[in-house]
Amino acid sequence: MKRAAILTVLGLTLTACAGGSAGSPTSNRPPLPTGVEVRYPAAPSGASVYLNLLTDGGESVYQKAVTAGSVKTEVDPVTWKAKSALAAPIEGLIPAGAINAAVSKLGVPVLLLHWVMWQDRDGNGQRGEGETLDLMSHDRVAYASEAVSADFTTASPKMVQHWQFAQGWGRAEHNVYLPLGDVTYRRTLESSVLQRYELHVATPVTSQ
């Protein structure tokens, strides 16, 4: 009887401990890393600094405060996932005046976004004229409803371009080079597994 009583008490104790673990709070745990980050030269001090993700038309789809002196910030792509509704047929994104244009499939919705960093010098909480820092990236945050590619040639700059986007959201990496003895650049903008964006001093699209 004593042995049975001891086992019963132990059983109740173990059950109670297990129940307590299941109900323990988790709200104070740090969020899991997203694996997506933006790197940049040390953020300036003084007025608040922000990272901003924009459409080509200047519409903001995401913004995050940046710590002064920091050189990278993790961002959360889940927060702009719904902006896929802004995607438009890929053929409409090809620059006006391009020649020899061809896409793997007409009508596939694609959206290209770019990062900027700005400092709220007037303190009104809105990005205004003269507040955008001289930093940029030729890489793009890209969305495609399905895998799609496009090829075209531009006259200014004289460049043969190839776009290749995987289905869904991701980073499209810019690569460009000028073949030896040639005057026509070759540029690619292709989906990449690495989700790291690098902001640098503004350079032309012919620059790597």
Q: What is the mean pLDDT of the chain?
A: 88
Per-residue CA distances from 142 to 106, 119, 126, 147, 174 (Å): 17, 25, 25, 11, 12
> What are the residues whose beta carbons fall under 8 Å from the beta carbon of 31, sequence distance 6 or more?
none
Report pLDDT for 2: 45
Q: Please check whether residue 132 lies inside any domain of the structure.
A: yes
Query: How much of the chain exceeds pLDDT 90, in percent?
Result: 83
Q: Please check whether residue 1 lies inside any domain of the structure.
A: no
Domain that holds residue 52: 32-201
Report pLDDT for 34: 73
Q: Please check whether residue 206 lies inside any domain of the structure.
A: no
| CA atoms of 119 and 130, how far apart (whole Å) | 9
pLDDT, tens digit, 9 for 90 and up, residues 108-132? 999 999 999 999 999 999 999 999 9
Looking at the structure of the chain, the number of domains it has is 1
Report pLDDT for 30: 60
Q: Please check whether residue 130 lies inside any domain of the structure.
A: yes
Q: Please check whether residue 12 lies inside any domain of the structure.
A: no
173 has a pLDDT exceeding 70:
yes
Mean pLDDT of the region 148-173: 97
Read off the pLDDT band of 26 (50, 70, 90): very low
Are the beta carbons of 85 and 55 closer than 8 angstroms?
no
Q: What is the pTM of this model?
A: 0.83
Q: Please check whether residue 4 lies inside any domain of the structure.
A: no
Q: Please check whether residue 164 lies inside any domain of the structure.
A: yes
pLDDT, tens digit, 9 for 90 and up, residues 6-17? 434 334 333 333
151 has a pLDDT exceeding 60:
yes
Q: Please check whether residue 21 lies inside any domain of the structure.
A: no
pLDDT, tens digit, 9 for 90 and up, residues 27-62? 566 665 678 999 999 999 999 999 999 999 999 999
